Structure 1
Amino acid sequence: MTDLVDRLRALDTCAVSDALDRHGIRGVVGGLRPWAAPGTIAGRAVTVLLGPPSDDVTASRHLGTAAVDASGPGDVIVVAHQGRTDCAGWGGLLSRAAAARGIEGIVVHGAARDLVEAAEAGLPVHAVTPTPVTARSRAVERGWGEPVQLDDVAVRPGDLVLADGGGVVVVPAAQAEEVLATAERIAGTEAAMARAIAAGAPVSDVMGQSYEELTSRDH
């Protein structure tokens, strides 16, 4: 798995997205962007499921803390916050703890807060938007280390997660080898095209039929 993470880190989200298209996998999480420390996030998913408070859920500890305590280098915390922007699904003390444990970064499908603290700790955080509004009394943890949904993208513990300036993608662990191999071929092909353009080739020739077929499932 470490080898797969290293290979993932060497790619960008656009190449991986193209590979996911070619394999017919929904793996692009829309609407997220980097808000804290710069840098690529690459690693294995450790999932956290949030939801509104209810009589059947008692917040005996703050959301995300168990996942942080169980994670470390090579792990990415993925918070399923249902895209909520009315309160944070992640905060500053969690960011400091995650950074101290060497966690690669955080992906929040919703708002996050204390992003200055995350930046000071050197922890990359991708989220929908910043907010100062606390989760306390507004959201609770309903589980962690279990499959979650980020809109139409399923994320299971151990899936590969890549986040950079281009967005966030999730690669199912069961198909990681084939998707990464395809992404590497696509990246290599596009690098050769970039060299041809730099050498003076007309872009209309470089980006011809073969470029259009890069994501085709028939090629």
Structure 2
Amino acid sequence: MRSVREWLLALDTCAVSDALDSLGRSGAVSGVLPVWEGARLAGRVVTMRTVPADGRVSGSHLGTAAIERAEEGEVVVVEQAAGPPYPSATWGGLLAKAAVVKGLGGIVVDGACRDVDEIRELGLAVSAREAIPFTARGRIVEDGVGLPILIGGVTVREGDFVLADGSGVVFVREEDVGAVLTVAERLAAREALMAADLRAGRLPSEVLGKDYEEMLDE
């Protein structure tokens, strides 16, 4: 039996976003994109939040507690409370290396990361708002892990699920994941049939007609 992570990876964020719309749920976030081309991630969420240091010094570097808390295949999702222009990156090369060693499914940062070339070489899927070179040292600190966070206006709780690709990020609440992915799979199958019709020469106006416009209402 396939896992939720495998089910998510067989879909894309657009299909899942459409399914959320169909079911009247929120969860899609724009502007958080892969830091290297082709990176995709999915998995159960482990949450983390960072805030401006304001003179505070942490006993351990931000991100380490989240990595140690996460299980193999899970995704660390970070709310970076200091918004743009970001004073520093929340995630970098050494944290990425630790995440790879732990076997994590990827990282999502509603904020900035750095060491993109190193992250690409490691093959770790990371999505973020932007990449900058500034260190977190003296600029931001970890505010907690495992707590509810806000990502692009969407409340995310530990145990929810995430899928990220080149179109953005979608979050699915733990209690909704079966229903959402069932609808997403159905919508993806319908679109695959429409794509086949287009390749067969049917007119776009015929394929993308009333049936397409009302797909989400079914």
Pick the TM interval, shorter chain.
Answer: over 0.9
Shift of 1:15: 0.3
Once the two structures are superposed, residues 175-198 of structure 1 have per-residue CA deviations (whole angstroms, 9 ceiling, x without a partner) of 001000110010000000001111
Structure 2 letter corresponding to 1:74: G
Task: Structure 2: state its 5+ residue gaps.
Answer: none
Partner of 1:189: 190
Structure 1 letter corresponding to 2:62: L
Map 1:65-104 → 2, pairs under 5 A: 65-82=64-81, 83-84=83-84, 85-104=86-105
Distance 2:36 2:146 in 1: 24
User: What is the number of equivalent residue pairs in this alignment?
Assistant: 216
Length-normalised TM-score, structure 2: 0.94
Partner of 1:171: 172
Once the two structures are superposed, residues 160-210 of structure 1 have per-residue CA deviations (whole angstroms, 9 ceiling, x without a partner) of 100111111111111001000110010000000001111111110111111
Partner of 1:126: 127
Shift of 1:36: 3.1
Length-normalised TM-score, structure 1: 0.93
* Runs of 4+ in structure 1 over 4 Å off: none
Shift of 1:147: 0.9
Q: Which moved more, 1:82-91 or 1:8-17?
A: 82-91
Partner of 2:43: 43
Map 1:103-142 → 2, pairs under 5 A: 103-142=104-143
Partner of 1:23: 23
Shift of 1:91: 1.0
Structure 2 letter corresponding to 1:75: E
Partner of 1:12: 12
Structure 2 letter corresponding to 1:97: A
Shift of 1:40: 1.7
Once the two structures are superposed, residues 117-165 of structure 1 have per-residue CA deviations (whole angstroms, 9 ceiling, x without a partner) of 1111110111111100111111110100111001311111111100111
Distance 1:122 1:197 in 2: 35
Structure 1 letter corresponding to 2:203: P
Distance 1:117 1:174 in 2: 36
Task: Structure 1: state its 5+ residue gaps.
Answer: none
Distance 2:197 2:36 in 1: 36
Structure 2 letter corresponding to 1:64: G
Change (3 A) 1:199 1:2: closer
1:215 counterpart SS class: helix
Structure 2 letter corresponding to 1:59: S
Asked if the contact 1:26–1:152 (Cα under 8 Å) also holds between the matched residues in 2, the reply is: no
Q: Which moved more, 1:1-10 or 1:160-169?
A: 1-10
Shift of 1:4: 1.7
Shift of 1:2: 6.1
Asked if the contact 2:87–2:134 (Cα under 8 Å) also holds between the matched residues in 1, the reply is: yes
